[in-house]
Structures are given as C-alpha cells and as structure tokens.
Structure 1
C-alpha cells in the first residue's frame, strides 16, 4: 500500500488495451500535482491565474501526453484546454535536453505544464485537471509520428491535481519607477523567460520569476537608448531612481557588483551573481518585493532599515545577468532573489499607452497604440505582457 501524499494526489489510471482475452491489461500510474497554489491577478480587467501542473510517470512504460484540460471542480465544466502543438508549446520534460511535451514521458520522468488562463468572475472554488495520454511500449521511430514503430498504443485519461485558488493579494503596490514610457517586458511562452526558469537551491526547486517584469525605458519612437546603444550609460532608463513600492523593512540588500561599460562586453554570471546588485523589501503582508540589476554604488538603504513608499532605494543599472540596462522586479515569498516562489501582485495605478506584440520591435520601432475600448488609467492591476505604461512623475 502506497502512502497518501500530502502535497499531491497519486492517480491510478487503467489502460484497456486491445489484446487477447487471456492477456491481463497493463496498468500505469501518473501523478498530477500543483505544487504552488495560484492566486488571481487582474490584467486589463481580466482575472488571470498563472501556475504549473507537474506530471510524473510512476509506471513502467513510457507515456505520451495528448491533451490537458482545466475543469471547474464543482460543475465539471471545461474552462480551458490544449492539445497537439498548443500543448507542446506549454511545457517541457524536466532534465531531458530539448524534450518537449509531445515526446514520450519515460518512467520516472516529470513534465511541467505552464498554465495561464483568464477566468470569469466569480472564480471557481476549485480546479481539477484532465490529462489525456497514450501508452507507448517503445521509443518513437526516426519519423517520430507520435506512434512507436511496431508498438501497440492505446489511449487513456486521468483526472486529478485539484487545487483551490487563493484570492488576489489585498495590498496593492506603489510605482517602482517614475514617469515613462516603460515597456513591461515579459512573456509566459518564452522558453528561457522568467516564467519558465526553475532554480533547485537548498533541496527545493522554485520559480521566483513567475510574475517578474523587466522594465525598459523607451521613448515615443520606441527607442531604448540615445546615441550608441551599445554603451550602457546611453540607455534611456540608466540611472533612473528606483522607488520603494510600500512602507516596508529592507530584508536584504547587496551592492558592490560591477557592470560593463558596453552591453556587448557584458560577461555571464553564475547563479549567485545573476541578480546583480539588489534590494528585497519585506512587505506588511508577508511578501517580498525584489529589485535586481541596480547600478553599482547607488543603493541608499541597507538590511534592517525601514523605508517609506516612494522613497529612493537605488538606481536602475546593468549588473548581473542582463541583456541591457533595465529594472527586474518581482514579488516572492522569500527575500533571496532566486530562493523564493514568485507570487502575484498589482500596482495601484499606472497609465496604459500601448503594447509591443511579443516584444517584437522593442528598441527599433514604436509600439502599437492602446485600443480605444481599453481604459487608459489602470488601477490595482498587473501590466499585460509587453505593455507600454507610465507611472506618475
């Protein structure tokens, strides 16, 4: 008898195969888990959940994932679903180089499906997940048609991974920067974007950048720099004051990491130095606001100090792993930049100017103007992916 896990449900799925009557039907096991309970954020008036569904093959045979659906646990209604290429683009198999969700999930392997879905109000009290899969008795042939050459493959499905979403955080945040325009750069589908990068530190894998935004200053023509864009100091946002988003206590701070004068000469950094110079603020509700890549020598606070919302705590810079000067901002459940789980947040006010579709053209051409039916003034929201916004001056 297997012990009942306290963090996830172990789901046993019977696969009924077309076989001779005397042959026993094989049984495979698939574990469905949602390790981090999601909380809603509001994006341009829509309730949004961001979370991950972990799928682990506990059976003796490889499985091929076919579809994933999110259900209202109460009514059974399907709220969202993905299959084929749409599903393959939503995740990967952990530890397998270049392994996509369309590849066979070998015994003992885990797949992570990154889910983002907009839900109507009121939010369902609980969600369940349905996974459709096939049992592949052998590895795919060279053509990788989705059916192993010479192998018997039958379909099956399993439901589980039930989770009750938490309400949105009650404490909205003040602006981390002044004025604008600022491009709020992030995209959930980027394979190496903040949303999809786990760090396995101190015996636990965490996703600190689940809701992270890179703020890049742009001008009316969409340029990110004046003159030679390879000079870090020419970036429009370089040296801009970085502000405390709430009355808080400085939980951690680091200064002293240098930066390259030229963007093209910037070296790679190990994971410990990847955030560069940073500040983490302990908010009153138990969350931590984390600011990364700050300019060397610009920090005006240190651990243990109390700060007031709007207070200057440093300047935007180019330290750590960075493709150009910007402010990395996220909120997490721990102050160390890479050792916390990213949690949702909202800014109490900002102006929406427009969007970059997929961040294409950032620094090269103007953004697309805001649609007329979308309000310019946003309150208690998270900016949409690659939105162009402005804060109060």
Structure 2
C-alpha cells in the first residue's frame, strides 16, 4: 500500500506541474503516503513488542514451575520446623527441670562447704602455727646462707661442690655420673662419649678420628691437662695407620726371608722366586675376593661388613703365605728328587704331581672345610678370615700348585733348576730335601 501511495503521489505531482489545479490533490497524496509509512513503522514496532512479550511469557512458564516446586519445599520445611519447635519446647521443659535440680544441688553444695569450712578451721590454725615455727627456723638459715655467700661468693659455682653432690647421690645416679666423671677418685678425670656416623675402617671414620685427636690435643694444651682419644674406632684407626706404614716392610722382610730359605733348600733361585711370586698372587686373589664380599649389604650371606679388617688382612697374609710355601715345598721336593736322578724336567714335574697332588688337594680340602665355618661368624675379623683363607687355600692348592706352577716350569724348561756359579759355591751341597747326597747338580 505504501508503494502505491508513493506512486500515486509522484503521478499527482507530475500532473500538478502541468495543471496547477491538481496541486492540492498532490499534497494530500504526499501526506497520505507519509501517514501510511508512519503506520507501517508503528505496526513493525508493535510486532517486535509482541514477540518480546511472547518470549518473556515463555520464560515465565519454567519459572512458575520452579516457583511451584519451591512453594512445595517451603511447605515441607514449615512442617519440619513445626516438629522441631515441638521438640525444642520439650527440651526447654527438661532444661527447666534440670535447672531446678541444679538449684537444689547448689544449695546442698553451699551447706557442705559451710560445714567443711567449720571443720577445717582447726587445721588452718595449726598450719598458721607451723608456718610461724618454720619462719622462726628459716630466718637463721637465711642469715647463714647470706653470710656464706659473702664469705665464699663462688662456693656454689665450684666443681668440688658439684662433685660432692654427685658423690652423695643415690647408687644408680652415682653409677650414671661415674660414666662421665671419676667420682670415686675425686673427679680428677672426665670422659666424653662421641658416636660417629661412619663405619669402622672407612675414610670418614679416619677423618673423624683425626679431627677428634686434634681437638683433644688442643683442649689439653689450653687447660694443661692430660688428654687422650680411645675407643674401638680410635684403636682400629691407630692400628690401621701403624700397619699401613709398616706392612710393606714386614711383607718385604717376610718375602725376602722366605725366598732365601727356598733358595737354600731347593738350590734353584728361579724356581724359588717363581714359588714366592705365585704365593703373593694367591694372597692378592684372596684380598680381592674380600673386597668384593665387603660390597654385599647386610641381610645377605657374608654381608654386613663394609670394610676389610686390618687384623684379619694381616692374619690372612701370614697364614696363606705359610701354607702356600708348605704346599710348594711338598711339590717341588718330589720334583727335585726326580730331577736329581735323570735331569728330565717334564718327567720331574709329572713325578711331583703324581706323588703330591692328592696330598696337597686333600690337605687343602680339610683346611678349607675348617676355614669356611669361620665365614658365617657375625664378627668381621673372623668372617673375613674365613672367606679369605678359604679362597686362598683352594686357589693355591688347585689352580696355582697343580696348574700354574707346572705350566710355568714347562715353559721355562731346565732354567728353573739352574744355579749360578756364585751361588753354587756358596750354597750347601747337601740336598736337605733328600737323605741322599751328592745328587746331580743343575
């Protein structure tokens, strides 16, 4: 309709331009077109308002439902509140009854306290009299204590006063104090117990021992005292340091003496040197196995000993070296006996093994059976001696004496029996391993 009104207004304006009489009609047509446009906009606005109202009504419907549900819940809650108020009223009645009973009990308590006060009055009077007498006795004691502080101002700070208190303590306290102070000898010595967090014979234990020893010496110099460091860890550290400094000399002297004795007995310097070197190899293998055993944690067989005991290591060296030399002399003596007959080195080796292999192996088995029982001991020294000696004896009697020594002798040939001319003139001619004399000389 708006389009037709506008079209009619344009046509009338065109006609009015040709005919002035049509100008009023053209103006009315223009007003009509504007009115139609205004009515169209108003209709559109009213339609938008109607849509908004419809959407609001749609939203109000779920809200009304929720409101209806809330009203129901409020009704149920009002019923529960009414029941609770009823219970509260009953509780208030019981509380009132309890307060009445409490009021009666308070009256009874007041009567009892009043009666007790009258009965305790004589006791109060006697306590007052006792206080007067104690004050009368304490006054001279206080004056004496003040005079004592004037005459001897540092009496209670004296160590002798503390020592006298400890000396007069009950037996148990007296014994406990004696762990730190020599109470029985006038308190002339004291002891401090220090527990290290490091295991025995470890780097941490040795460092701790050095620091404690330096502190002990410093305390002695500062107080003009005789001080010392003792205990299991300190003793083991001192023994380890002494052993570490002198052990090479001891081992060197031990090896040199054994080598000279074997040279005199065997009249074969190279063979004696070979036997000593193999003995040292057996000892080194035993120490190596002990180092591996030290890495076994506690709770496992042979575990729980994280360090090599110095005493055990020295004992292992001495026993192993002595037994190894013993087995070597058994074997080489029979070899020497055959070699002095025909000078055949392979035949002498075979003869010695044939005659002594069983004896050496049996003796080693017996010794190992004895030593292996030591390995299960909980004491580190005994356990490590058992492990080290068992390994060393079994290796020496099987691998070293039965395999390595004969193999090296075959590789070296007759040179193992050779005696240099200088030694040949010095060494005794009699073969101490055989009753025969004047045997073949290598």
Q: So what's the TM-score if we normalise by structure 1?
A: 0.24
Greater helix fraction, Structure 1 or Structure 2 = 2
The two structures have a TM-score, normalised by structure 2, of 0.22
Bigger share in strand = 1
Ranked by relative contact order (alpha carbons within 8 Å, sequence separation 6 or more), the top structure is 1
